[in-house]
Amino acid sequence: MAIADDAVLLREGIGQILRAGGIDVVASVGSAEELLALTEVDEALDAVVLDIRMPPTHTDEGLRCLEELRRRGSSVGVLLLSMYTTAAYAIRAMSVGNGTGYLLKDRVADADTLVRAVRTVASGGSVVDSEVVSALVAGRMASNALDSLSERERDVLTLMAEGRSNLGIASALHLSLRTVETHIGHIMSKLDVEDSAEGHRRVLAVLRYLGRGA
């Protein structure tokens, strides 16, 4: 995997954490342009960790890099790091397809979370920071549809939006798989969003719903 961030110390820190977690870091670069060039010559990369705001404008270079990778047909897993719980950025990131994650930079200090997120996107899964999800849920609590959810359904919804599988939700909430599936069916019906057996589409549908008006 590779790391792209204009902050040298952060790149080195992320690299050390990932190597300690058993992940092979083969490159570390300071810009989105360098990362794009790297992916053209190293097709064996299975994941990249990419800062959203990098030179030259420090706005959305990482997002544009992700979109360009997908435009080129690359399926490399991309974990975006951000300082901000920006709903629009998270939804934009997840809209490009599988193997995508959006994590706050604060999570870098949590080695297990960072390593797990990289492995998830490398395998084609989805990851959304729990703090981003919580902000989206809080911003939509006035919605009649969200008001209709039970407390347990809200717990399930939050884990769904984070990208957890049904089995992962069952484990986190100490529920049976059948109970989780029932809750998800009720949630999708009440929120009037697309139900899907495919994890990423489910995450995106929920994020888009929660992001309305955010």
Identify whether residues 104 and 36 lie together within a single domain. Answer: yes
Ranges of beta strands (E only) in 68-149 are 77-82, 100-104, 126-128
Does 153 or 206 have the greater pLDDT score?
153
- 146 and 196 inside one domain: yes
Residue 164 has a CB neighbour count (10 Å cut-off) of 25
Of 128, 160, 186, which one is at a domain's C-terminal end?
A: 128
Residue 116 sits in the same domain as residue 156: no
Q: How far apart are CA 135 and CA 131, in angstroms?
A: 6
Are residue 116 and residue 186 in the same domain, yes or no?
A: no
Residues 28 and 108 in one domain: yes
Structural domain including 44 reads 2-128
210 or 18: which leads in pLDDT: 18
Same domain, 119 and 159: no
Q: What's the pLDDT at 208?
A: 84
pLDDT band at 204 (very low <50, low <70, confident <90, very high): confident
Asked whether residue 156 falls in the same domain as residue 81, the answer is no
Are 206 and 145 within one domain?
yes
Given a cut of 80, whether residue 142 has pLDDT beyond it is no
Q: Are 13 and 62 in contact, with CB atoms under 8 Å apart?
A: no
Dihedral of CA 196/144/167/176: which sign? negative
Q: Is the pLDDT of residue 94 over 60?
A: yes
Query: Is the peptide bond prior to 56 cis by the omega test (within 30 degrees of 0)?
Result: yes
CATH code for the domain in which residue 176 is found: 3.40.50.2300
Confidence label for 144 from pLDDT (cuts 50, 70 and 90)? confident
β-bridge mates for residue 127, sequence order: 101
Sheet order of strands, 2-4 included? 27-29, 2-4, 47-51, 77-82, 100-104, 126-128
What is the model's pLDDT at position 34? Answer: 94
Last residue of a domain, one of 128, 145, 160: 128
Both 119 and 172 in one domain: the answer is: no
